Amino acid sequence: MAWGLSIALSLCAVASAAPATSGDIQPDEFRSRREALRKSLDGVMVLFGQREGLDVVFHFRQEPNFYYLTGWTEPGAILLVTPAEETLFLPHHDEHAERFLGKRSSAEDANAHQATGFDRVLGVEKFETELDGALSRFAKFYALSSGPDRVKLQARYAFREISDAAPPITKLRVKKSDAELAAIQRATDVTIDAHRATWKRIEPGMYEHQLSAVLMSVYLDRGCEGVAYDPIVGSGPNGAVLHYFSGGRRMDRGEVVLMDSAAECGGYASDITRTIPVGGKFSKRQRELYQIVLGAQKAAIAAIKPGIRMGGEENSVTKVAKDYLNSHGKDTHGEPLGKYFTHGLGHPVGLQVHDPNVDGPLEAGMVVTVEPGLYIPEEGIGIRIEDVVLVTEHGAKVLSAALPKEPDEIEAALAK
């Protein structure tokens, strides 16, 4: 999905987490992530897991940094990390709460070490004493910069400077492990099948939400948790609304429909967009604009390699795409098309569909989207083509390459 709309992002880029024991990531990997963090840590880090009340009607989502380091998917836990040790604090058993939420783990359980993958598991009431002890040994103090627990922490340690815990964790999160790449690939493969299923189903007269239903049914049918973000299915003029969440518009022959949708599987997201003709054939103008977006996307992917930046005006993948758009085709006033590309070219993908980013050049092992688009309200059209791409030692590997994007291939796939 498109990058650069902060309000929309906070709505759709919520944390993703699957049960630690049933996901693709093994307990050893969570432990080695903590080891990697401790190696570079110059102080004390505190992370609060997501809390949960009894009246929840949505499935629990762990705070993503907390999940990345622990794999822990139960509410109310706290993580304390120093260069020397790591401790997980768990709430105590509560029969009333467990009646609503199911059986929960607790520090006094005989299998607490095995269940959590931590050598030190303590009850939450011991947290403040342990933190006081750790802070007496180290000067630097890290915590995430938002949330009610942060306010309490700042009040209790009013004379300590608290640094943001996110950057050191992000540094680890941006480069994906083999297990993470496998999880992203699985989410991508299921997403490709879902897009193909809509291509089989689509016909003039259908409504946008019916395509969302097809997408979501494939995600769930294939054992994924669900969507990585609400499907964006925008037909005709709706395609030019960047984060249009599919609605009740009837799609007709002669229009294109933009579908930006992906699954979340095993805690990891994918992110794919295709734009297809509702009636099976692109018009001459639609095909012209489509080819320009596709050309920009191919040029951008070809430019990806370690050392280049995604954003920025110089030596960036964004500039490659923008230059292509500005040097191909015209709008109805004879003006270049670049101004109709109105969002960022891409973003990291991982535990979150918009994974945290580091300010710097691309490195091998990062996974990013490449998603140029043209949104021309005056012509009632929006076209975006988005693939998920792994940065390799010498270039890029398109993880979503199995989903066709050449206009002839799309028309052939749509032919009934």
Residue with tokens 């734009």: 275
Q: How far is the CB of 272 from Mn ion (least distance, A)?
A: 8
Q: How far is the CB of 279 from Mn ion (least distance, A)?
A: 27
**What CA–CA distance (Å, rounded) separates 239 from 405?**
17
Residue with tokens 């969507």: 227
Contacts (Cβ under 8 Å, ≥6 apart) of 54: 96, 97, 100, 101
Identity of the residue, 75 or 372, whose beta carbon is nearer to Mn ion in the bound complex: 372
DSSP E strand stretches across 71-225: 78-81, 86-90, 120-123, 140-143, 163-164
Q: How far is the CB of 266 from Mn ion (least distance, A)?
A: 19
Q: How far is the CB of 52 from Mn ion (least distance, A)?
A: 29
Q: How far is the CB of 8 from Mn ion (least distance, A)?
A: 11
- Beta strands at 273-277 and 256-260: parallel, antiparallel or unpaired: antiparallel
**What CA–CA distance (Å, rounded) separates 351 from 329?**
38
**DSSP letter (8 states) at residue 106:** -
Residue 1 in contact with Mn ion, rule: CB under 5 A: yes
The tokens describing 395, both together, are 């270039």
Identity of the residue, 212 or 369, whose beta carbon is nearer to Mn ion in the bound complex: 369
Count of chain residues binding Mn ion (CB under 5 A): 3
Q: How far is the CB of 45 from Mn ion (least distance, A)?
A: 30
Q: How far is the CB of 349 from Mn ion (least distance, A)?
A: 7
Contact between 233 and 194 under an 8 Å Cβ cutoff? The reply is no
**What CA–CA distance (Å, rounded) separates 128 from 88?**
13
Contact between 63 and 51 under an 8 Å Cβ cutoff? The reply is no
Q: Segment 176-205, which members bind Mn ion (CB under 5 A)?
A: none
Contact between 245 and 230 under an 8 Å Cβ cutoff? The reply is yes
Identity of the residue, 134 or 403, whose beta carbon is nearer to Mn ion in the bound complex: 403
Q: How far is the CB of 271 from Mn ion (least distance, A)?
A: 4
- Taking contact as CB under 5 A, which single stretch among the options 9-17, 141-149, 271-279, 292-300 is the one that binds Mn ion? 271-279
Identity of the residue, 12 or 107, whose beta carbon is nearer to Mn ion in the bound complex: 12
Residue 317 in contact with Mn ion, rule: CB under 5 A: no
Determine which residue in the list 74, 255, 271, 355 makes contact with Mn ion, applying CB under 5 A.
Answer: 271
- Written as one letter, the residue type at 81 is V
Q: Segment 354-393, which members bind Mn ion (CB under 5 A)?
A: 369
Q: How far is the CB of 352 from Mn ion (least distance, A)?
A: 11
Identity of the residue, 216 or 242, whose beta carbon is nearer to Mn ion in the bound complex: 242
Count Cα atoms within 13 angstroms, Cβ side, for 19: 6
C-alpha triplet 224, 229, 234: angle, nearest 5°: 120
Residue 259 in contact with Mn ion, rule: CB under 5 A: no
**What CA–CA distance (Å, rounded) separates 236 from 240?**
8
Q: Segment 36-95, which members bind Mn ion (CB under 5 A)?
A: none
- Taking contact as CB under 5 A, which single stretch among the options 175-183, 267-275, 355-363, 408-416 is the one that binds Mn ion? 267-275
Identity of the residue, 105 or 318, whose beta carbon is nearer to Mn ion in the bound complex: 318
Q: How far apart are the first and last CA of the chain?
A: 29
Count Cα atoms within 13 angstroms, Cβ side, for 388: 32
Identity of the residue, 34 or 195, whose beta carbon is nearer to Mn ion in the bound complex: 195
Identity of the residue, 255 or 271, whose beta carbon is nearer to Mn ion in the bound complex: 271
Buried b (16+ CB within 10 A) or exposed e, 166-179: bebbbebbbbbeeb
Identity of the residue, 1 or 107, whose beta carbon is nearer to Mn ion in the bound complex: 1
Identity of the residue, 281 or 397, whose beta carbon is nearer to Mn ion in the bound complex: 397
Contact between 304 and 391 under an 8 Å Cβ cutoff? The reply is yes
Residue 84 parent element (H or E): none
Q: How far is the CB of 371 from Mn ion (least distance, A)?
A: 5
Q: Can you give the binding site for Mn ion, defined by CB under 5 A? A: 1, 271, 369
